[in-house]
Structure 1
């Protein structure tokens, strides 16, 4: 169970990451439409697990996409630090994961239709 502070910081990180991905999509992320679905904070607020969903213009693989995002983690964290640096004492370490909940829901829906 997360505390109120964890939830507030997670919401702040989620909003700011969404803006970073929106503003830098063309330059850094190959024009992919990236959505930050969930952010979960560690109890000490030193680490944030961000779950991403994306829609790419080109036919890139999911593994390639998440590896590209992970390779740019330090750049993303720097951009995040510029925005939330005055609100948080420590800019959390970022860990990115692919959110496959939509794929899972679609699979369940297909199974129910059969």
Structure 2
């Protein structure tokens, strides 16, 4: 469970990274839309795991690799923004957020289910115990 401090720092880094992707790091995105969906910070605040969602799908890996290669640049820009709030600027680890794909997969599974109607005697379909 994250402490309140970790949660606050995570939210601030998420906000700052999102703003940086729009303004200072737009050249790294190859005209893709990158959204920071969440940030988890280690207990000592030295590592920030940022989860990003990238659209369009066909550019995901190339944009993620570009961001990972330039993580030092991102950390430097983040340091300028949080220098008065944090003693140590966290190291940024970027991960692809696959929540949307997971939701779509689950929707397909649920839509393909065939649920038999309840029987006349009140039992559930053809199932008998």
Measure, in 2, the Cα distance between the counterparts of 1:95 and 1:25: 16
Change (3 A) 1:109 1:25: farther
Structure 1 counterpart of 2:23 = 23
CA-based RMSD: 1.5
2:86 to 85, 88, 107: 88
* Greater length-normalized contact order (CA 8 Å, ≥ 6 residues apart): 1
Unaligned 5+ segments in structure 2 are 113-129
Question: Superposition pairs for residues 71-110 of structure 1, below 5 Å?
Answer: 71-110=69-108
The count of corresponding residues between Structure 1 and Structure 2 is 112
Higher helix fraction (1 or 2): 1
List, as ranges, runs of 4+ consecutive aligned residues in structure 1 with deviation greater than 4 Å. Answer: none
Measure, in 2, the Cα distance between the counterparts of 1:26 and 1:14: 16
Measure, in 1, the Cα distance between the counterparts of 2:96 and 2:26: 20
Q: CA deviation at 1:106?
A: 0.5
Unaligned 5+ segments in structure 1 are none
User: 1:4-33 CA deviation, whole Å, 9 max, x = no partner?
Assistant: 100000010000000001114542211111
TM-score by length of 2: 0.81
Structure 1 counterpart of 2:10 = 10
Structure with greater Cα Rg:
2
